[in-house]
């Protein structure tokens, strides 16, 4: 067992920012995506796990602080020496002799920054530096808090693919806070969904999808024509511009597919859409009826 959370509560003044009542357990080697809207308690959870905020309850783990690596939305390093020297001191290595580190520096196009001091780096350069440092620590438990925030779509995708490649076949445990659903579909095998400081759902991505969405979901543009065609099927909650239809067995999916092909309807099929799953998990938690 990596860590267990029991009866965790974090308050800022009189406001409860996080309240986890049922025990949560994280296993070694798991990649856990933490999602939720602004103010849901995501970063507060990370800070509690790191011991950076006061909390009530218990966090049980055998992982020592030196076995953890952390990427936060704001990171600071000493500004009195070149970035190259900071990197070599913390990682206890020599860049010229470390091919793996050289490869990361090249991937992030960071070569021109090595002679600069940390305070002279731009926001994007500081982010790249921190990501390199975190990846190279190869910690037993690594936290990524909005690691792709502020990047354009192409850069986000490139970084996500690099993280997937980097951690493939490794036993490192990851806790990844993100509001990009497609990012977590690639990086996470479990999801912790928070809302207003409470746990809405926690579990394996496929199991949560099956529970809240069905075997598969067909996603269409929300048009009058598509709405009419979809009327005979179970409609899930979804963003307003889309229709999401639940398939609960192969026969239902065959009928759905045949109908959409016959009427030349564009669609996407998914068995892991975290956004649709999250919307419907919240709806179930708050006792709201599905659409349609």
Q: Which of 141, 136, 144 is nearest to 100 (CA)?
A: 136
pLDDT in tens, the chain (292 residues): 889 999 999 999 999 999 999 999 999 999 999 999 988 999 999 999 998 999 999 999 988 878 889 987 666 677 778 999 999 999 999 999 999 999 999 999 999 999 999 889 888 888 889 999 999 999 999 999 998 887 788 888 999 999 999 999 888 999 999 989 999 999 999 999 999 999 999 999 999 999 999 999 999 999 999 999 999 999 999 999 999 999 989 999 999 999 999 999 999 999 999 999 999 999 999 986 544 4
Architecture of the 3-204 domain = 3-Layer(aba) Sandwich (3.40)
The domain 213-285 is placed in CATH, from the list 1.10.3470, 3.40.1440, 3.30.70, 2.60.120, at: 3.30.70
Q: Where are the domains of the chain?
A: 3-204, 213-285
Q: Residue 292: what pLDDT? A: 44
Q: Which residues contact 84 (CB under 8 A, 6 or more apart)?
A: 95, 114, 115
Q: Residue 255: what pLDDT? A: 94
Q: Residue 230: what pLDDT? A: 93
* Helix or strand holding residue 101 (H, E): helix 99-107
Residue with tokens 């490794």: 170
Strands of 141-145's sheet in order across: 68-71, 141-145, 173-177, 31-35, 190-195, 198-204
Statement: the pTM of the whole predicted model exceeds 0.85:
yes
Taking each helix axis from N to C terminus, what angle separates 205-212 and 274-285, rounded to the nearest 10 degrees? Answer: 60
Q: How far apart are CA 60 and CA 19, in angstroms?
A: 16
Q: Residue 74: what pLDDT? A: 63
Q: Residue 169: what pLDDT? A: 87
């Amino acid at each position: 067992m990596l860590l267990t959370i029991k009866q965790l509560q974090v308050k800022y003044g009189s406001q409860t920012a996080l309240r986890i009542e049922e025990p949560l357990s994280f296993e070694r080697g798991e990649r856990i995506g933490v999602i939720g809207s602004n103010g849901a308690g995501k970063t507060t959870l990370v800070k509690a796990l790191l011991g950076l905020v006061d909390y009530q309850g218990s966090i049980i783990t055998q992982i020592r602080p030196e076995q953890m690596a952390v990427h936060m939305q704001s990171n600071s390093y000493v500004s009195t020496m070149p970035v190259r020297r900071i990197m070599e001191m913390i990682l206890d290595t020599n860049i010229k002799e470390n091919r793996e580190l050289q490869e990361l520096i090249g991937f992030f196009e960071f070569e021109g920054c090595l002679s600069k001091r940390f305070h002279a780096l731009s926001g994007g350069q500081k982010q790249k530096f921190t990501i390199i440092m975190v990846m190279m620590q190869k910690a037993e438990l690594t936290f990524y808090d909005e690691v792709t925030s502020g990047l354009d779509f192409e850069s986000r995708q490139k970084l996500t693919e690099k993280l997937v490649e980097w951690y493939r076949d490794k036993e490192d445990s990851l806790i990844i806070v993100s509001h990009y659903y497609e990012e977590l579909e690639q990086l996470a095998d479990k999801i912790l969904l928070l809302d207003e400081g409470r746990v809405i759902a926690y579990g394996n991505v496929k199991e949560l999808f099956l529970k809240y969405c069905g075997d598969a979901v067909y996603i269409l543009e929300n048009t009058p024509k598509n709405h009419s065609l979809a009327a005979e099927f179970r409609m899930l909650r979804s963003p307003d511009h889309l229709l999401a239809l639940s398939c609960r067995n192969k026969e239902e999916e065959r009928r759905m597919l045949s109908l959409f092909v016959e009427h030349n309807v564009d669609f996407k099929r998914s068995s892991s859409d975290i956004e649709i799953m999250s919307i419907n998990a919240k709806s179930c938690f708050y006792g709201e009826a599905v659409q349609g």
